[in-house]
Amino acid sequence: MARKNYKTPAQYKLTDLEHDEEQPYEIDLAPLLRQSAKQNSQSRVNRLLYKAHVVKGHGSLKRGDRDTDVYRDATYTMILSTTIAKIKWLRWLPRVLMPSKYVCNLALACIGFEINQKDILVKQIQGVQGMKNELKRIHWEKFLLKLVEDWAHANGFEKISVLKAEKNHWWHVNNSDAKKQRFKMHYDVTAKRSGFKFCPEEECYVKRLIATA
């Protein structure tokens, strides 16, 4: 049973957010984390170490005077963060035991999307540079896409689409073949593995939703 202080996706409309306002997305992440955990990593994925936030606006995201290394390519962004000790010598402690005043939230990855009248378009699925080790236990791309899909479903949207890698704004910006392959993994492969079907007319991967709102 979910804790009483958890919220549901339907309680977040997002369009009410002010520009650059970052808000905790306080749903129960545990089921989705278990579903997204890599094989043999389920027991090492602690839901207490992960947080989700939503924010409106484009460009670099800061938390106070600290840069998160998240650059937002869409109007709305969901961010996966983890807790980490501010002081290096405390990092040997289990993070759930660290005093809160010594802990900060560190952005790990993000998913950016546009909200239209009846549908959602995902334009960005991106890990934060240097966070590969923190993300290695979960299929974070699928986690983030499912996070947005569940929100869209709960709020009555009829369709969610994922932009194919080659249509991404950054596809042609000094990218090597290796980087382009990573783009395809983040977008095309993630969409296919999440049950999306390619629509040639829209040049996107599409999934129809059954509205519950």
Q: Is residue 1 part of a domain?
A: no
In a domain, 148, yes or no: yes
Q: Is residue 2 part of a domain?
A: no
Q: Nearest CA to 63 among 109, 107, 16?
A: 107
- DSSP per-residue codes, 122-162: EEEEEEPTT-HHHHTTB-HHHHHHHHHHHHHHHTT-SEEEE
The verdict on residue 153 lying in a domain is yes
Amino acid at 10: A
Torsion of CA 73, 165, 45, 150, to 10 degrees: 70
Number of domains within the chain: 1
What are the tens digits of pLDDT across the range 120-160?
Answer: 999 999 999 888 888 888 999 999 999 999 999 999 999 99
pTM of the entire predicted model = 0.87
Whether 91 is in a domain gets the answer: yes
Q: Are 167 and 122 in contact (CB under 8 A)?
A: no
Within-domain flag for 55: yes
- Segment (H or E) for 191: helix 190-193
Task: Establish if 213 belongs to a structural domain.
Answer: no
166 assigned to some structural domain: yes
107 φ/ψ angles, rounded to the nearest 5 degrees? -65, 135
Q: Give the structural domain span for 28.
A: 9-208
For 39-69, what is each residue's pLDDT tens digit? 776 656 666 678 999 999 999 998 877 788 8
